[in-house]
């Protein structure tokens, strides 16, 4: 019989530690306002809160090998040693030590700070034996007891929620029952059932987001976790009996080609996991509790970023061929429009006749595009009242660059230079590479006085590289050095604004987000599906950090321009396109939109989002409608961002406003006069056109 080792009240959550007769420890999170039965009566063994697999130890049986490395001999050998609470100001860390009699110890940390709606979890493995150990898997977190409120196996009552991602289709929510994933128990309650998923490579959002939510539908309880890691990762949903456990962290040997040697006296620390639990009917409330973990880093970012200023990026104006002349013309069109940043995107370094996407790496300013150097262009940007920004792809080199031939400083796989169609990759652990990038990147930023850097990353290393005990460890080490270089940039140039871009939105994980001020939400620059992707991302990152593009064309109708501008109200406004060719009426629509954006900045910066509308079956051919209601943190303002797509239109769209939402309509923005009204806390709008956008400001009067 398992007994409760200890319970801790963590705001509106409770962490309960279990101890079985063999001194294994399990960890359960549950809502503070929903007591859990001390003995829920499930036919289940305790599932350990640290999952680890060492090479040479016995694998779990019951059809586990190839599906999971959980619950083998290495995990079974870990026994309870001690637990203490470390207090530091308003923060407390519950440190639980587990030991293996062979001389290994794992220190499991769960950290919570007063006022937080989440916890952070991670593990540290210490080798105190006389021999090196080879780690094939070690979790960052492992939670058991999902769901303790359901009798038996809880059949048809537990949902699995994941955020899928493809290029320019980021963040689609998928929801499946345990039974749809074939995770219901076997008749004997002995066969392992496991759904192991994640991604392999240096684009952490290149299949799924590092996110998992589990829902007890009957009792309206959600558990959610995000991983803060920019390389290969995995999550697992596991059961053999009437219990369900979830775990995750670095991709293991089977899934991500990762092994790590920890020598005597050494230790290894896993990436952090952010976890939460709450009672709610809405996945949107659950995800806000997770994304709010990024607010502290955003609040501590550069001062100008606290007002969410507007960005102009010339990429969709010049398409990778910026020059002093075309930038001068753009500045004439946009100065005094209210933008804060002007970003020179890719191509400023390219030679005549060579595409921008195969020539990055050398980073010499193009004499053809900037015959008088960048000094004159940067001066023009500043004279127009904007802060200058510039694009780099720091970690990769294009096949037309001289850097592409510097093979001794590039990553290798199987003894050969690791090469994709158009790129190779710097060895970020090579001191020569750090010196080179310090000169070419930080040196250029300092020389010209750039205050903003867009950091792109347009390929993936894949499963890993040579030079370490495993190719997966090589990948991890390389990405760790990328994080370190970002910190060096910020130390060398205090106050610089960093934009996180990776083929648009493929590095939208908590650690890269914490290291940067904002991120490119996607590469869907001119697509009808932009608002769908932008709304999806409210569940993954803070809207205040989600830079959304409005690309305007001279042939665009006023309706299309308003649609594009309203998209940006789901995050940060970034304008691009044919700004030198727009007429007065087109600019009037844009400027009215920018004025509206400024009014809802407090709501974007901090608030609760709710998505309404039918599911979108095809993101490339959307039908129906979508609305996002976002309520500001203080409850004084809210906005409704509504889009219609193709297909038949509803006679009337009705949205039940969430509790606490203001109901007084203050302003409506679109290309035409649109009537909306709120009655009995229901927002109503009669759509008349497909592909139409309307933004509404609500306020408490």
Segment 190-224, tens digit of pLDDT = 899 999 999 999 999 999 999 999 999 999 999 99
CA distances from 249 to 121, 199, 259, 291, 422 (A): 10, 11, 13, 18, 31
Question: Which pLDDT score is estimated for 40?
Answer: 64
Alpha-carbon span 498 to 495, nearest angstrom = 9
pTM of structure: 0.97
CA distances from 606 to 514, 531, 544, 601 (A): 16, 19, 8, 9
Q: How far apart, in Å, do the first and last CA atoms of the chain sit?
A: 58
Alpha-carbon span 494 to 206, nearest angstrom = 31
Alpha-carbon span 571 to 538, nearest angstrom = 9
396 close to 382: Cβ distance less than 8 angstroms:
no
70 close to 60: Cβ distance less than 8 angstroms:
yes
- Pairing relationship of beta strands 3-10 and 310-313 according to DSSP bridges: unpaired
Residue 504, by phi and psi: left (phi above 0), alpha (psi -120 to 50) or beta? left
The structure tokens listed for 67 are 């599906």
- Pairing relationship of beta strands 221-228 and 272-279 according to DSSP bridges: antiparallel
Instruction: Count the neighbouring beta carbons within 10 Å of the beta carbon of residue 61.
Output: 12
Residue 647 has pLDDT above 80, yes or no: yes
Instruction: Count the neighbouring beta carbons within 10 Å of the beta carbon of residue 62.
Output: 14
Task: Output DSSP code: residue 670.
Answer: S
Q: What is the pLDDT of residues 275-293, one digit of tens each?
A: 999 999 999 999 999 999 9
Greater confidence (2 vs 262) lies with 262
Task: Output DSSP code: residue 59.
Answer: P
Q: Is the peptide bond before 147 cis (omega within 30 degrees of 0)?
A: yes
Q: What is the pLDDT of residues 354-371, one digit of tens each?
A: 999 999 999 999 999 999
Residue 619, by phi and psi: left (phi above 0), alpha (psi -120 to 50) or beta? alpha
The model's confidence at residue 35, banded by pLDDT at 50, 70 and 90, is confident
Alpha-carbon span 622 to 532, nearest angstrom = 9
Q: What is the pLDDT of residues 594-618, one digit of tens each?
A: 999 999 999 999 999 999 999 999 9
Question: Which pLDDT score is estimated for 2?
Answer: 84
Three-state DSSP at 316 gives helix
573 close to 538: Cβ distance less than 8 angstroms:
no
The structure tokens listed for 699 are 């306020």
158 close to 150: Cβ distance less than 8 angstroms:
yes
Q: What is the pLDDT of residues 335-358, one digit of tens each?
A: 999 999 999 999 999 999 999 999
585 close to 274: Cβ distance less than 8 angstroms:
no
Task: Output DSSP code: residue 542.
Answer: -
The structure tokens listed for 148 are 């303790």
Question: Which pLDDT score is estimated for 131?
Answer: 97
Q: Which residue has the tokens 């001794």?
A: 408
* 252: nearest Cα among 67, 105, 78, 465: 67
Question: Whole-number mean pLDDT of the chain?
Answer: 97
Alpha-carbon span 383 to 309, nearest angstrom = 18
- Pairing relationship of beta strands 653-656 and 546-552 according to DSSP bridges: unpaired
Instruction: Count the neighbouring beta carbons within 10 Å of the beta carbon of residue 41.
Output: 10
φ and ψ of 355, to 5 deg:
-60, 150
Alpha-carbon span 437 to 245, nearest angstrom = 44
Alpha-carbon span 149 to 516, nearest angstrom = 40
391 close to 321: Cβ distance less than 8 angstroms:
no
Secondary structure of 425-478 in HEC code, one letter for each residue: EECCCCHHHHHHHHHHHHHHHHHHCCCEEEECCCCCCCCCCCCCCCHHHHHHHH
By CB atoms closer than 10 A (0-12, 13-18, 19+), residue 351 is middle
424 close to 404: Cβ distance less than 8 angstroms:
yes
The structure tokens listed for 488 are 């060096």
Beta bridge partners of 91: 88, 113
φ and ψ of 645, to 5 deg:
-115, -150
Considering only 28-37, 131-140, 559-568, 627-636, which range has the smallest mean pLDDT? 28-37
The structure tokens listed for 26 are 């399990």
- Vertex 676: Cα angle to 672 and 679 (nearest 5): 175
339: which residues sit within 8 A by CB, 6+ positions away?
309, 310, 311, 312, 386, 575
140 close to 249: Cβ distance less than 8 angstroms:
yes
Q: What is the pLDDT of residues 406-460, one digit of tens each?
A: 999 999 999 999 999 999 999 999 999 999 999 999 999 999 999 999 999 999 9
């Amino acid at each position: 019989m398992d007994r409760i080792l200890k319970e801790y009240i963590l705001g509106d959550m409770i962490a309960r530690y279990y101890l079985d007769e063999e001194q294994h420890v399990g960890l359960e999170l549950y809502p503070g306002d929903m007591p859990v039965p001390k003995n829920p009566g499930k036919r289940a063994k305790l599932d350990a809160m640290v999952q680890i697999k060492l090479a040479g130890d016995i694998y779990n049986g019951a059809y586990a090998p190839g599906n999971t490395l959980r619950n083998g001999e290495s995990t079974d050998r870990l026994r309870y040693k001690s637990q203490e609470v470390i207090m530091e100001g308003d923060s407390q860390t519950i440190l639980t030590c587990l030991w293996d009699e062979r001389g290994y110890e794992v220190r499991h940390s769960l950290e919570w700070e007063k006022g937080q709606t989440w916890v952070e979890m991670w593990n540290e493995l210490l080798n105190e034996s006389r021999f090196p150990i080879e780690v094939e898997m070690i979790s960052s977190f492992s939670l058991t007891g999902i769901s303790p409120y359901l009798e038996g196996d809880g059949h048809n009552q537990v949902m699995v929620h994941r955020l899928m991602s493809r290029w320019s289709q980021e963040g689609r929510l998928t929801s499946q029952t345990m039974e749809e994933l074939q995770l219901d128990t076997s008749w004997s309650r002995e066969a392992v059932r496991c759904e192991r998923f994640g991604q392999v490579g240096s684009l952490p959002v290149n299949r799924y987001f590092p996110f998992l939510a589990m829902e007890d539908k009957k009792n309206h309880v959600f558990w959610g976790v995000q991983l803060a890691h920019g390389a290969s990762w995995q999550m697992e949903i596991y059961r053999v009996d009437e219990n369900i456990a979830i775990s995750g962290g670095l991709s293991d040997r089977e899934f991500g080609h990762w092994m790590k040697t920890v020598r005597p006296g050494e230790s290894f620390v896993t990436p952090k996991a952010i976890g939460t639990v709450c009672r709610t009917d809405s996945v949107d409330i659950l995800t806000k509790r997770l994304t709010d973990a990024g607010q502290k880093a955003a609040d501590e970012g550069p001062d100008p970023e606290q007002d969410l200023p507007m960005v102009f990026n010339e990429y969709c104006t010049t398409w990778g061929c910026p020059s002093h002349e075309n930038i001068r013309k753009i500045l004439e069109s946009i100065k005094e429009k209210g933008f804060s940043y002007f970003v020179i995107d890719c191509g400023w370094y390219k030679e005549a006749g060579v595409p921008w996407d195969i020539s990055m790496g050398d980073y010499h300013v193009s004499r053809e595009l900037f015959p008088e150097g960048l000094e004159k262009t940067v001066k023009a940007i500043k004279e127009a009242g904007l802060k200058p920004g510039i694009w780099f792809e720091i970690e990769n080199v294009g096949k037309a660059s001289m850097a592409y031939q510097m093979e001794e400083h590039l990553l290798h796989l199987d003894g050969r230079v690791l090469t994709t169609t158009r790129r190779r990759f710097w060895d970020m652990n090579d001191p020569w590479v750090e010196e080179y990038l310090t000169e070419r990147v930080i040196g250029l930023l300092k020389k010209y006085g750039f205050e903003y850097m867009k950091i792109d990353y347009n390929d993936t290393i894949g499963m890993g590289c040579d030079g370490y005990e495993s190719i997966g460890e090589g990948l991890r080490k390389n990405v760790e050095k990328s994080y370190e270089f970002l910190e060096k940039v910020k130390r060398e140039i205090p106050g610089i604004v960093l934009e996180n871009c990776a083929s648009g939105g493929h590095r939208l994980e908590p650690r890269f987000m914490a290291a940067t001020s904002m991120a490119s939400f996607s590469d869907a620059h001119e697509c009808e599906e932009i608002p769908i992707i932008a709304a999806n991302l409210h569940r993954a990152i803070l809207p205040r950090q989600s830079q959304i593009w409005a690309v305007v064309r001279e042939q665009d109708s006023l309706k299309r321009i308003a649609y594009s501008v309203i998209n940006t109200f789901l995050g940060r406004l970034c304008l691009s396109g044919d700004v030198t060719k727009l007429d007065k009426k087109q600019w009037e629509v844009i400027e009215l939109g920018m004025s509206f954006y400024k009014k809802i900045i407090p709501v974007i910066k901090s608030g609760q989002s709710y998505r309404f509308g039918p599911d979108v079956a095809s993101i490339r051919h959307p039908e129906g409608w979508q609305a996002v209601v976002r309520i500001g943190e203080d409850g004084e303002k809210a906005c409704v961002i509504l889009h219609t797509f193709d297909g038949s239109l509803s006679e009337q769209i009705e949205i039940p406003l969430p509790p606490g939402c203001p109901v007084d309509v203050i302003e409506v923005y679109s290309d035409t006069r649109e009537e909306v009204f709120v009655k009995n806390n229901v927002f109503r709008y009669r759509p008349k056109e497909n592909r139409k956008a309307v933004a509404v400001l609500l306020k408490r009067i």
